[in-house]
Structure 1
Amino acid sequence: MPRYEFTEGSSSKFWEITLEGTTLTKRWGRIGTDGQEKVEEFDSKAEAKKEYEAQVREKERKGYTLAGSADGDGGEATAESAVNPDLEAAILAKPDDVKGYLAYAEWLKGEGDPRAELILLQHSALDVPAATATAVGKKAAKFIETHAQELLGEALAEAVSDETLKLEWHLGFIREARLGQVDYDSTADIPELLAELLAHPSARFLSRLTLGMASFDGENDYDDTLAVLAKAKPAPPLRSLFIGDFEFPDETEISWTQVGDLKPLYKVYPQLQELRVRGGEIGLGKIDLPELRSFTVETGGLHQGSVKDIVKAKWPKLESLEVWFGQENYGAGGGVKDLKPLLDAEGVPALRKLGLRNAEFTDELCAALPKSKILAQLGELDLSMGTMSDAGARTLAENAKAFAHLKALDVTQNFLTKEGQKAVAKVAQAVASGNQRTPYDEESRYAAVGE
C-alpha cells in the first residue's frame, strides 16, 4: 500500500491507499498511530482507477510526498492523468478553438503531464504545408508510442499494441477510437476496455467512437458494451457512434448479432450527429436526437415496432436516413403503411437523402413514392437490395416526372431484367441499376440480407 506523508510545522500525518479490482482502501492519521480506514466500492475497475488517481493527485497538491508502502513495495507517483475540469469545460464549450487546448497545455506542463508536449507538437502541424504536417505527424506518432504507458495506461496501451483499440489523436487528446476483438483467438474484454477508455482523461474529448466485434465466441452481443456507454461519467462529447463495425458473413452473420437497447444513450449523448447501427435485436424506443444529421440501421430483420419508432423519431436536423428492413424469416415486419408518416414528410424538414433498402415490399414503395410528400425534398433515393421487379421499374418510369429532380437513384441488387433496367435508366439524373439478382421464380424474390 503506497504511503504518503506530510510533515510541516506541527503537522505529522500519513495517508495510504491501495487499489484492488473495484475496491479502494484508504488509511490515514497521525504518524505513529494506526489511523482510520475506509473502503470504497465502484461499479467498474476503470471508475475505481480513476478515483484512485484523482485522490493521489489531490494529496500531492496538498504537499504529501511518497514515502514508500506499508509492505515495503515502493509506489510510484504518476502524472498521466492530470485533470483540470475548468479548462476541460472551456474546450467542450468551444471544441474547435485551439486556444483552449493551448491553455490546457500550459497547465499540464506544470503537472509534468506528457500530453502538454503532445498538444504543442500536434498544434505545430496545423496550417502548415502538407510536407511539414506529415513530418510532424510522424514525430507525434513516435511520441505517442514512446509515452503510451503514460498517455493511456497499461491496459489501453496493450489494446493499442494488439490492434484491439485504434486511436486518432488531436491536440494531445483522443479524438477518434475504434474498439473490437480482432479475431477468434482474442480474449479482449470489450466492455471493460471501453470503460477504461471512457474514464481516461486522454479520451475526455472523444468525438467519434466505432465498436467492432464485441465477441467472436457465440453471439456478438453488445448489451454490456452499451451499458458502459450509458453509464459514462462524465460522458465524452460524442458526435459520431457506429455500433457493429464487422464484416458479414466473414466475421459473423448480421442476424447473429444482438445490438440491444439504444434508448439509454439518447439522454447521455444528445449532441450525436451521426448514428449507425448494424446487427439484429435492435431496441430503438422513443428516439429524441435533436442534433442528428445521419441515421443508418443495417439489419436482416427490422421489427415492425422499430419501423414505427423510426418514423416517429424527433430529429429536426436529420439530412440522411438509411433503413434496411430485412426478411420476414428473420423478424422483419411492417411495410408501406407503417412508413406513412415518413412518406408524408412528418418531422424531417431537413431530409435530403433517403434509403429504404433491403425491403421485401420494394414494388409497393415504387407505387407509393410518386404520390408521397417526402419525394419533392429529396436529392438522393436508394431502393437497393430489395425485391423490385420489372413491374416496379415500370411504375417508376411511368412517374418519371416525379423523380426527375433526383440527383441519384439506386436500384441495384434487386430483381430487374435488362428490360427493367432500361425502363428505369432515365428516371433520375443518375441511375445505378447494375448487379441485379435472378429469382428462381416470381414468388422467390427476397431481400438481399436476412441472416
Structure 2
Amino acid sequence: MPRYEFTEGSSSKFWEIRQEGTTLIKRWGRIGTDGQEKSETFDSKAEAKKAYDALVKEKEGKGYTLVEGEGGDDEAQAESASHPDLEAAILAAPDDVKGYLAYAEWLKGEGDPRAELILLQHAALDAPAAESAKARKQAAKYIEAHAGELLGEDLAEAVSEETLKLEWHLGFIREARVGQVDYDSTADVPEVLRKLLAHPSACFLRSLTLGMACFDGENEYHDTLEVLGKAKPSKALRHLFIGDFEYPDDTEISWTHVGNLQPLYRVFPELRELRVRGGKVELGKIDLPELRSFTVETGGLPLGAVKSIVKAKWPKLEALEIWFGSDNYGAEGGVKDLKPLLDAEGVPNLRKLGLRNAEFTDALCEVLPKAKVLAQLQELDLSMGTMTDTGAHVLATNPTVFRRLKTLDVSENFLTKEGQKLVATAAQSVISGKQRVPYDEDSRYAAVGE
C-alpha cells in the first residue's frame, strides 16, 4: 500500500491508500500509531481509480510525500479491468471480432475506455472506404485523448516521448516497439517494457520489437531480457525482434550485448518469428515448436550458439538465417559444426536457408553439393561472406544440385567478373551484385564484424 507522510512543525502524519477492485481502502493517523481505516465502494473500477487519483493529487497538494510503495500509476495498471474468460475466448479465435465485441460489452459496464475504442475500431473494419477512414481518425483521436486512461500515466508519457510506439487493434495493443530514441534519451527501456507487458491493454500483443536499450555506452539487453523472462507467459505473441537498430549509425553490432534467450522460450511458446541482432548471443536449448522463421544477425557468433541452432527443436521452421561473423569479434565454429543442419536433421519443413556473413564460404561451397538439406530448399543465401571464384566454380559444376533452387544469393562476396559469370546460371535466379575487392589475398573478411 502506498504510504504518504507529512511532517512540518508539530504535524507528523501519514496517509495510505490502495485500490481493490471497485473499493478504495484508506488509512491515516499520526506517525508511530496504527491510525484508523475506512473503505469506500464505487460503481466501477474506473470510478474507483478516478477517485484514487483525485485523493492522491489532493494529498500531494497539501505537502504529503510518497515514502513507501508504488505511486498511483502502477495501481492504475494493476486495477485495470480484465476478464480471463473473455480473454481466453479471444486467444482461441484472435481474428473473430465477436470475442472483442463481447469484451466491449463487459468493459462498458466497468466504465473502461477501451469499450468505446473497440467499437470505434470495429466500425472501421468493414465500412466503405470513406466511412472507414473517418472511423480510423476518430479512433486515433480517441487514443490520443484517453492515453492516460488506456495506458496509465507512465506508458502514456513513453508514447509521447516515442520511447514506446503502439499499434492498436479492436481496443487492444497489437504491435509495440520499445527503445530509446537518441543519445539524449534517458528512458528506462526495461521498466517501460515491464509496465507494457503487465498492462491489460497488451494482453493480446502479437508483435514486439526492441530497439536501442541504451545509446550511452554499450547497448546491452541483459535487463530487458530479464524482464521478458519474468513476464507472464503469453500465447498471443507471434513476432519478436530483439535489436532493431541501425548499424553503424546507432551502434555497432559487436557493441551490442544480447545475452541469454533461453528463458524466453517458455514465456512465448507460440512464437512464429524470432529475429535477433547483436553480439554475445546465447541461445541455450531452443524449443520453439511453432516457430516458422529464425534470424540471428551478428558479427561474431559463438560456437555455443551454433550448436544451439543445429540441435534446436523447431519442426515447423521454414526460414533460417545465420550470420556467422569474424573471429576477431567472437565468431567460432565452421563447416563441420553445421553437419546436423546440412544433413537436414530436425528441419523437415525448411525451405529458405541463409548461411551468411561467414569467413568459410568457400569451404561451405565444397560440401553443399552433398548436403541433404539442399533437396528441400527453395532459396539459399551465401551472401556477405568470403566466397571466391573457387567456390563459384563448385556451384557452377554441380548444376543438378543447385538448379533446383529458385533463388541463389552470392552477393557481397569476393567474386571476380569471371566468377559471377560462372554462377550466373547455377540456379533459376542468381543474385551476384555488390562484390567486394580484397586488398590482397589475405584480406578477405566477412561483411559485418564490428
Give the alignment's TM-score, normalised by structure 1. 0.85
Q: What residue in structure 1 maps to residue 126 of structure 2?
A: 127
Q: What residue in structure 1 maps to residue 209 of structure 2?
A: 210
Supply the AA of the counterpart residue of 1:213.
Answer: M
Q: 1:440 to 1:69 in 2, by over 3 A?
A: closer
Q: What residue in structure 2 maps to residue 282 of structure 1?
A: 281
> Equivalents in 2 of 1:263, 1:289: separation in Å?
10
Return the offset for 1:72.
5.1
> Equivalents in 1 of 2:131, 2:150: separation in Å?
24
Corresponding position: 1:371 with 2:370: yes
How many residue pairs match? The answer is 412
Corresponding position: 1:317 with 2:316: yes
Q: 1:265 to 1:234 in 2, by over 3 A?
A: closer
Q: What residue in structure 1 maps to residue 10 of structure 2?
A: none
Q: What residue in structure 1 maps to residue 95 of structure 2?
A: 96
Corresponding position: 1:347 with 2:315: no
Q: Deviations over 1:13-34 (max 9, x none)?
A: xx95259xxxxx97669xxx94
Return the offset for 1:370.
1.0
Q: What residue in structure 2 maps to residue 10 of structure 1?
A: none
Q: 1:382 to 1:36 in 2, by over 3 A?
A: same
Q: Deviations over 1:83-105 (max 9, x none)?
A: 11221121122212211110000
* C-alpha contact (below 8 Å) 2:282/2:304 kept by paired residues: no
Q: How does 1:236-275 map to 2 (within 5 A)?
A: 237-275=236-274
SS of the equivalent of 2:386 reads: coil
> Equivalents in 2 of 1:122, 1:336: separation in Å?
52
Return the offset for 1:231.
0.9
Q: 1:86 to 1:411 in 2, by over 3 A?
A: same
Q: What residue in structure 1 maps to residue 226 of structure 2?
A: 227
Return the offset for 1:57.
3.8
Return the offset for 1:129.
3.5
Q: What residue in structure 2 maps to residue 51 of structure 1?
A: none
Q: Which moved more, 1:192-201 or 1:65-74?
A: 65-74
> Equivalents in 2 of 1:418, 1:249: separation in Å?
29
Please identify runs of 4+ aligned residues in structure 1 that moved more than 3 A: 25-29, 33-37, 56-61, 64-80, 128-132
Return the offset for 1:443.
1.6
> Equivalents in 2 of 1:326, 1:170: separation in Å?
39
SS of the equivalent of 1:281 reads: strand
Q: 1:319 to 1:78 in 2, by over 3 A?
A: closer
SS of the equivalent of 2:162 reads: coil
Return the offset for 1:260.
0.6
Corresponding position: 1:433 with 2:432: yes
> Equivalents in 2 of 1:269, 1:78: separation in Å?
26
Q: Deviations over 1:265-291 (max 9, x none)?
A: 011111111000000001101100000
> Equivalents in 2 of 1:66, 1:406: separation in Å?
63
Q: What residue in structure 2 maps to residue 393 of structure 1?
A: 392
Q: Deviations over 1:395-446 (max 9, x none)?
A: 1000021011111110000000100001000111111100000001222111
Q: Deviations over 1:175-234 (max 9, x none)?
A: 000110010000000000001111111111111000000000111000000111111125
SS of the equivalent of 2:17 reads: strand
- Ranges in structure 2 where 5+ consecutive residues have no aligned partner: 4-14, 29-33, 39-43, 62-71
> Equivalents in 2 of 1:368, 1:2: separation in Å?
65
Q: Which moved more, 1:234-243 or 1:304-313?
A: 234-243
* C-alpha contact (below 8 Å) 1:2/1:70 kept by paired residues: no
- Ranges in structure 1 where 5+ consecutive residues have no aligned partner: 4-14, 20-24, 38-55
What fraction of aligned residue pairs are identical, expressed as a percent? 72
Alignment RMSD (CA, Å): 2.9
> Equivalents in 2 of 1:220, 1:449: separation in Å?
17
> Equivalents in 2 of 1:117, 1:165: separation in Å?
23
Return the offset for 1:128.
3.2
Q: What residue in structure 2 maps to residue 44 of structure 1?
A: none
Return the offset for 1:138.
1.8
Q: Deviations over 1:138-188 (max 9, x none)?
A: 221111111111111111111111211111100000000011001000000
* C-alpha contact (below 8 Å) 1:279/1:300 kept by paired residues: yes
Q: What residue in structure 2 maps to residue 195 of structure 1?
A: 194
SS of the equivalent of 1:101 reads: helix
Supply the AA of the counterpart residue of 2:180.
Answer: Q
Q: 1:215 to 1:70 in 2, by over 3 A?
A: closer
Q: What residue in structure 1 maps to residue 7 of structure 2?
A: none
Q: What residue in structure 2 maps to residue 417 of structure 1?
A: 416
Q: What residue in structure 1 maps to residue 17 of structure 2?
A: 17
